Amino acid sequence: MHSEPLVEARKLQKSYDGKLVIENLDLTIHRGEFLTLLGPSGSGKTTLLMMLAGFEAPTAGEIFYQGRSIANLPPHARNFGVVFQNYALFPHMSVFDNVGFPLSVRKLSRAEIASRVRQALAMVQLEEFGERRPPQLSGGQQQRVALARALVFEPDLVLMDEPLGALDKNLREQLQVEIKHLHDQLGITVVYVTHDQTEAMVMSDRIAIFNRGRIQQLGAPRQVHEHPATAFVARFMGEMNAFTGKVIAANAQGQCEIALGEGLRFVGTSAGAPMVGSTRLMGVRPERIMLNPPPESCDNMVPGRVAECIYLGDRMTVLVAVDGGLNFTVSGGVASIDNPPRPGMPVHIGWSKEHCLILEPD
């Protein structure tokens, strides 16, 4: 897939008033990829983006662009486009002049500026809006203008800091698809910051999951969702049934057995071979648990009673209480909505060992 390194961060650190915000971070950004920095507020993802852009200087470590250090290059000399959440448009200037501003700074001819601005506005479907000013546009249109401005000078890298965070859900989902299509169409390299897991899954080639200034896991969307490296990643990447137990058997292939409370034994998979007797977290995603499955289809099965059913339009969430005081959340698709179980109904729930994750606790 994407193999040529474009930007590399090596042993990068950033401190504010003695507090470490980015800690000893290594990251390679490949040419042409869509890389998302995902994590909770304060995890360091925006700080990294600002260092890549040149708006913040590293406390330690280096950033390399095409193999050369850019530590002393100011932001305007890096040839990176930047899109912010608050648009950062000039309100007194027309849409046309806002988009053309990076070209004016680079002293291109009027004819070249006009040609490129028209192309950029066409890319974001705003050809008819060149004479308007930003206050005359909707939030979604202003964000399109900001995107056109970041693309108009054909940057090698586009940095986006939660650009859709201020938009409503429907518009945000529409622009997610449009930005991804532009990425594919133009072959640009994008580094995108968000705290929205769904947004990251929809748009990314790879996701770097941040927590406390470190990358917890870096991989393709499906990999980080289905095979989280840590308990933090498992919880952050979606809803998870998580219970603490003791490992009672394990082998070198990553298969192990875990005991939860009195009499509950489950088989699952681990990234390593945990020690027998060690405390581990067992995690199963709600969508991987089946209600009343054929026994031969599951490695793990346990009886319980339906505690509650929650209708969510496109799916049904069922809360199941099992012996030992454990409560499981089961998520069913549209087929389960037409004939939902009733509270108090006895059921069996089951899942495979591949989807039963045995993780080291946080």
Share of the chain above pLDDT 90, in %: 74
The mean predicted confidence, pLDDT, of the chain is 92
Give the model confidence (pLDDT) of 170-227 as tens digits.
888 988 998 999 899 889 999 999 999 999 999 999 999 999 999 999 999 999 999 9
Architecture, CATH, for domain 5-234 = 3-Layer(aba) Sandwich (3.40)
Sign of CA dihedral 145, 150, 151, 152: positive
- Summarize pLDDT for 249-293 with one digit per residue, the tens: 988 888 999 999 778 999 999 977 789 999 999 999 999 999 999
Q: What is the pLDDT of residue 2?
A: 62
| Residue 166: predicted pLDDT | 78
Domain 5-234 identical in fold to domain 239-359: no
Domain 239-359 has CATH 3.30.420.40: no
> Where do the H-state alpha helices sit in 301-351?
none
Q: How far is CA 31 from CA 76, 120, 210, 284, 348, in A?
A: 20, 21, 21, 35, 49
Domain boundaries defined on the chain: 5-234, 239-359
**Residue 85: pLDDT over 60:** yes
- Name the percent of the chain lying above pLDDT 70: 98
Strand duo 326-332 + 214-219: pairing: unpaired
Tell me what pLDDT residue 323 has. 84
What average pLDDT does range 106-131 have in this prediction?
Answer: 93
